[in-house]
């Protein structure tokens, strides 16, 4: 009987984290910048997204050229804020950000952008 009680107490303590953490598995982070489809001559970009309710951290990943065919895995970091600045050379990139808490991860939000030479122009003002 004592073993059963101890087991139930241990399971209860272990499961408490799931009770207090918000399930964010079916949510997505709303990205603000750089927007998908952007062509820019700027090589220093600040990745920005809206806070996701229930997330305490965010996992930001930047690859080149795309996730289906990665030549360069440029960044994989966990941050507590909703912004991160990165210097990038000319090229094509995809990036994703997902919300995290101690029990769950949100769905990925994937965006594509290009850093181009000044001669090519760009879509930003």
Give the phi and the psi of residue 116 in degrees, each rounded to 5.
-120, 165
Rounded Cα distance, 45 and 75, in Å: 13
54: phi > 0 → left, psi -120 to 50 → alpha, else beta; which? left
Rounded Cα distance, 28 and 54, in Å: 11
How confident is the model over 68-103, as pLDDT tens digits? 999 999 999 999 999 999 999 999 999 999 999 999
Rounded Cα distance, 72 and 66, in Å: 9
* pTM of the entire predicted model: 0.80
Between the two ends of the chain, the Cα-to-Cα distance in Å is 72
Output the pLDDT for position 12: 55
Output the pLDDT for position 5: 52
Closest CA to 23 of 78, 79, 112, 99: 99
Output the pLDDT for position 20: 77
Output the pLDDT for position 41: 96
pLDDT < 70 positions in the chain: 1-19, 120-125
């Amino acid at each position: 009987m004592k073993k059963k009680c101890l087991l139930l107490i241990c399971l209860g303590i272990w499961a408490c984290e799931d009770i207090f953490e918000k399930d964010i598995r079916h949510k997505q982070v709303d990205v603000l910048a750089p927007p998908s489809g952007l062509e820019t001559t700027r090589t220093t970009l600040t990745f920005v997204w809206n806070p996701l309710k229930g997330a305490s951290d965010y996992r930001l990943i930047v690859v080149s050229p795309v996730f289906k065919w990665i030549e360069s895995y440029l960044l994989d970091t966990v941050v507590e804020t909703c912004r991160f600045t990165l210097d990038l050379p000319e090229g094509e990139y995809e990036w994703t950000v997902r919300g995290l808490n101690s029990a769950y991860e949100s769905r990925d939000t994937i965006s594509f952008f290009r850093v181009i030479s000044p001669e090519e122009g760009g879509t930003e003002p």
